[in-house]
Structure 1
Amino acid sequence: MVEENRGARHARKQAICRKAQRRHVSFYERCAHWSFDRSESTTPIHWHRERWVLAGTALMVTLLSGFIMPAWATAMKPAPTIEAHTLLPLALPKPAPINPATSTVDDWQVVRVQPGQTLSDIFGGRGLSLTDLQKVMDAAGDAKSALHNIRPGEEFDFLLGPGGSLRGIRFDKDQANRAIVRLDGPQPTLALERRDMDTREEVAHGVIRSSLYAAGDQAGLSAAMVGKLADLFKYDVDFVQDLREGDSFTVIYDDIYRDGARYGEGDIVAAEFVNQGKRYTAYRFRKADGNYGWFSEDGRPLQKSFLRIPVDFTRISSTFTAARMHPILGRMRAHKGVDYAAPSGTPIHAAGDGVIKYRGWENGYGNFVLIQHNKDISTAYGHMSRFASGERVGQHVKQGQIIGYVGMTGLATGPHLHYEFRVDGAQRNPQTVTLPKSEPLPGAQLAQFKATVVKPQLARLEQIDQRVKLARNNTPNTDN
């Protein structure tokens, strides 16, 4: 029974195939040769157009499968699970409290004093009022004196708040201390800040070719330091009349540094000046009273009892002589003094310590001053334009103190000082008279001076001179 059913099904299948072949006879005629049978009885495949179409279709299906399947797999991948984290509180140290005074850097505005400026000008230039200036003056305490006499080049630092209000000011109380006035607190405050001061020794050597200042400039000295050198030796050397070409000097001096920056020039430590073959020396020494002075090698102060010339002059218009044709009287007449020509108004200084014995008008002399220095020596000054204010007969004056000003009162044809040096009432030539020597240091100080100052500094000066001579000898002569 089973076999009959199976035979019937097979018969039906064959009938269906025969029916399809009859219906699609044209297709079977074209495709009857398609076969992948590799048996020997099968005819080899020939690549006709139909085979190329079939191969291209298979290749395209393969490529599309390579792109589509990974994308489909990715799309079907489940979303990742986010790992949960647990936050644990940790105890941290408390931050230090912020101090408003130190949390920010103050923006100080620096103002340098210009020639002719006053403190009120400087405050006004920062938009500050006289009330602000008075507040600073009131708070400055013992630093107030530095505000009364300001000089060009000094610096004032201003700290300004919102709207330009004054919060603070800084200025130099002295060379080594800075005053800081703060106005931004409940009450004004004043603080002093110590500056880091340092001195460094410098050495300079020069030879006079035209003038002292030109030689100093060539040696690297400032005009101020050349002036200090001239002040040291002005009692022995007339730097207008006595200088000669070939004169030389050697100077050891201090340079001052403040807070690491050069601040200015200090004092001369030791110096040597050779004028017309004569050697003069100066050494700085701290005396028993704590003050510094300058002394020659034998311990005598360089500051003599008398100034050789009591005025800064331009030329000597008349010398000391027993017979001179008077320019106004027109006859021969002795000239018992020296006339120093200078611009009208030039200060005249007392030649030495003494007492004013006469101050007024004197025939021929015009405005005239007579100073008695001791029982033997007096000095006289004539043709002044005016006297120094506040002086009177009987008043004591110090050497260098201003007693009047150059003019041309009396018998004079031009502004000049007529200067006389009198010994026991008789006039002597101020240019040649032997001036009294100053007393040397006392015995103990003199020994200390020679051991601690003269000996080491003299060795340095001699060493410098030897180097200069050696350098001069090694310099080739280009004159030939």
Structure 2
Amino acid sequence: DVEAQAAAYDYVTREIYGPPLPDPWPQSDALVDEEIALEEIYGPLVPWGGPLEDAEVSAAVDRDEQTPVALDPYVDDGELCGPPPPEELTETRRDRAASSHELPFDPLAEALDSSHKDAKKKATSNPFEEFLAAEQRDAGKVEYDTVTYTRELTHRLRSGETMSEVLGAAGLSATEVDEWIRAARREYNLNRVYAGQELSLVVQMPETELQRLSLDIDRKTRLIAERSGDKVIARREEIPYERRLRVAGGEIEHSLYLSAIAQGVPDKIISEIAEILGWEVNFGALYQGATFRVVYEELSRPDTGQSTAGRVLAVEVENRGRRYEGFYYTTPDGSSGYYNRHGEALGRSFLRYPVAYSRISSQFSKGRFHPVLKRRVPHYGVDFAAPPGTPIKAVADGTVEKAGWYGGNGRFVKIRHDRLYETGYAHLSRIARGVRAGAHVKKGQVIGYVGSTGLATGPHLHFAMYRAGKYIDPLKANLPRPRPLSGNALAGFRITVSMMERAYAKAGLGHEEETTRIATALAAEAAE
């Protein structure tokens, strides 16, 4: 029976993996995870635009070391491909790409017999099976025949499911399904849903009439469709979030990624840190004793209780006695960015990294041993170790010059950004829809996905940059900076810096001079 099979499953789980871990997962002692209510620092909660809008600013006073493998040198069967490198081209290097950490088989599945699999498959064929069965059992009861009531059904879409199937499983006829899909089409195409989307249905009983449909479109927006008389009206609305501040910090023992992950900092926040300070700090050459601290948003949904990382508000990396800082700020004209303590803009008009940062597996070099060619050739680019399918972003606005198969590069995209600079992205598993020669792309737009096509031994991105048609090291390129802050914008920014210093101090991560400065300011306020 199903209960005996479930017990067998639990037994096999314990035999293979050991006893279950406690819940919640214990946090590292080094994790500074004090939640700071936004109201204590900013005052009232603020809209999506960010906690440091002008009104709030003006009101505030108060990741196993891996063996290197290599990357593609634009070589195909001995012939040079792509923009011709210097004549001394003889080799390239490839680094082993990051593993996706998948097991070759599921030991639990192997331990269970096929009847359990059949039962499991049957039990999940209809996401609303239990609901419908209960309604049928109760159909003969007088109160259900005479009283109208509503039921809310929630479901996370599974791989391969269509909206027509899900609505049909909830009891809607084919005509009703078509009505709802047609009504929503102006706002969102329900024929193009994907696995993981959260769906909520409000059904009027006992007629099983759908009254309301809510579907998450993305992290910020959801589709709402409601019946109004004999019509279905659809709209989009912003998903409300409650905001908290998270503060974390500690010593960087092996790498920023590993140290931050060990302390519970989300992947998204780590990638943002690398992007914010990437032009200032070489994260591949941090000395022992380097430290970091970060203030970031945690967004939680009151309706589901789910939480997700927001944006980095402040970050600092200290290496060999030198501090590298970044603070998020929105200027009076509405533009946002990161600045150092003096109001000087961080970053460039180009993104620092075209993929979410984890590890640079091969640097720009004029002589590396190529694991496929078995000889030394130059490596005119930077390899980013990343799991297959990782999104690749255009580092700046530009026009696509090439998009397709390109010899040893495999699937390849090349973008011209202006009269001086171009970038190339090689070994893609696939190219994003709409990215073709002549198409315009925006900074940060996804143009493809990490793969191992062409002359590659594993999945990774080979990223190349050209200046006036010649290869340059993307990590050392001297690209133009945005303008620094001045006037009223600088004055408002200084208030933002003070607010972030207070957040660090309250979490026990303040520097001595900051703590002294804050204490002095508080004493002055009390005296007044």
TM-score, structure 1 length as denominator? 0.59
Match for residue 321 of structure 1?
Answer: 365
Matched, 1:397 2:432: no
Matched, 1:355 2:355: no
Match for residue 132 of structure 1?
Answer: 176
Match for residue 443 of structure 1?
Answer: 486
461-470 vs 105-114, which moves further:
461-470
Amino acid at match of 2:466: R
Q: 2:226 aligns with which of 170, 174, 181?
A: 181
Match for residue 457 of structure 1?
Answer: 500
Q: CA deviation at 1:304?
A: 2.8
Q: 2:164 aligns with which of 95, 120, 125?
A: 120
**Is the 8 Å Cα contact of residues 178 and 194 (structure 1) preserved in structure 2?**
no
Distance 1:320 1:115 in 2: 42
Q: Deviations over 1:201-229 (max 9, x none)?
A: 34333444456566446645445555554
Matched, 1:286 2:330: yes
**Is the 8 Å Cα contact of residues 349 and 482 (structure 2) preserved in structure 1?**
no
CA-based RMSD of the aligned residues comes to 4.5
Q: Give 1:371-390 correspondences, 5 Å limit.
A: 371-384=415-428, 387-390=431-434
Match for residue 50 of structure 1?
Answer: none
209-218 vs 371-380, which moves further:
209-218
**Is the 8 Å Cα contact of residues 297 and 312 (structure 2) preserved in structure 1?**
yes
Match for residue 429 of structure 1?
Answer: 473
**Is the 8 Å Cα contact of residues 201 and 253 (structure 1) preserved in structure 2?**
yes
Matched, 1:171 2:201: no
**Is the 8 Å Cα contact of residues 270 and 281 (structure 1) preserved in structure 2?**
no
Q: CA deviation at 1:162?
A: 1.8
Match for residue 252 of structure 1?
Answer: 295
Unmatched 5+ stretches in structure 1: 1-103, 471-480
**Is the 8 Å Cα contact of residues 326 and 333 (structure 1) preserved in structure 2?**
yes
**Is the 8 Å Cα contact of residues 381 and 420 (structure 1) preserved in structure 2?**
yes
Q: CA deviation at 1:156?
A: 0.4
Change in CA separation of 1:207 and 1:126 when aligned onto 2, cut-off 3 Å: farther
Q: CA deviation at 1:268?
A: 3.4
Match for residue 156 of structure 1?
Answer: 200
Distance 1:356 1:207 in 2: 42
Distance 1:224 1:384 in 2: 22
Distance 1:192 1:427 in 2: 46
Amino acid at match of 2:173: S
Match for residue 57 of structure 1?
Answer: none
Q: CA deviation at 1:281?
A: 2.6
Q: Deviations over 1:252-271 (max 9, x none)?
A: 33344555985534633622
Q: Deviations over 1:271-319 (max 9, x none)?
A: 2231534433332323445464433334355453233443458765543
Change in CA separation of 1:290 and 1:128 when aligned onto 2, cut-off 3 Å: farther
Q: 1:274 aligns with which of 279, 296, 317?
A: 317
Q: Secondary structure at the match of 2:324?
A: strand
**Is the 8 Å Cα contact of residues 182 and 189 (structure 1) preserved in structure 2?**
yes
Distance 2:330 2:190 in 1: 27
TM-score, structure 2 length as denominator? 0.55
Q: CA deviation at 1:344?
A: 5.6
Distance 2:452 2:389 in 1: 10
Q: Secondary structure at the match of 1:421?
A: strand
Q: Secondary structure at the match of 1:447?
A: helix
461-470 vs 129-138, which moves further:
461-470
Change in CA separation of 1:304 and 1:146 when aligned onto 2, cut-off 3 Å: farther
Change in CA separation of 1:449 and 1:415 when aligned onto 2, cut-off 3 Å: same
Q: Secondary structure at the match of 1:392?
A: coil
Change in CA separation of 1:180 and 1:362 when aligned onto 2, cut-off 3 Å: closer
Amino acid at match of 2:471: Q
Distance 2:413 2:225 in 1: 48
Change in CA separation of 1:231 and 1:146 when aligned onto 2, cut-off 3 Å: farther
Matched, 1:336 2:380: yes
Distance 2:304 2:376 in 1: 63
Q: Quick one: percent identity of the two aligned structures? A: 31
Q: CA deviation at 1:189?
A: 6.3
Distance 1:323 1:437 in 2: 29
Q: Secondary structure at the match of 2:150?
A: coil
Q: Secondary structure at the match of 1:107?
A: strand
Q: Secondary structure at the match of 1:108?
A: strand
Change in CA separation of 1:308 and 1:173 when aligned onto 2, cut-off 3 Å: closer
Q: 1:420 aligns with which of 442, 446, 464?
A: 464
Amino acid at match of 1:152: G
Distance 1:235 1:200 in 2: 28
Change in CA separation of 1:200 and 1:118 when aligned onto 2, cut-off 3 Å: same
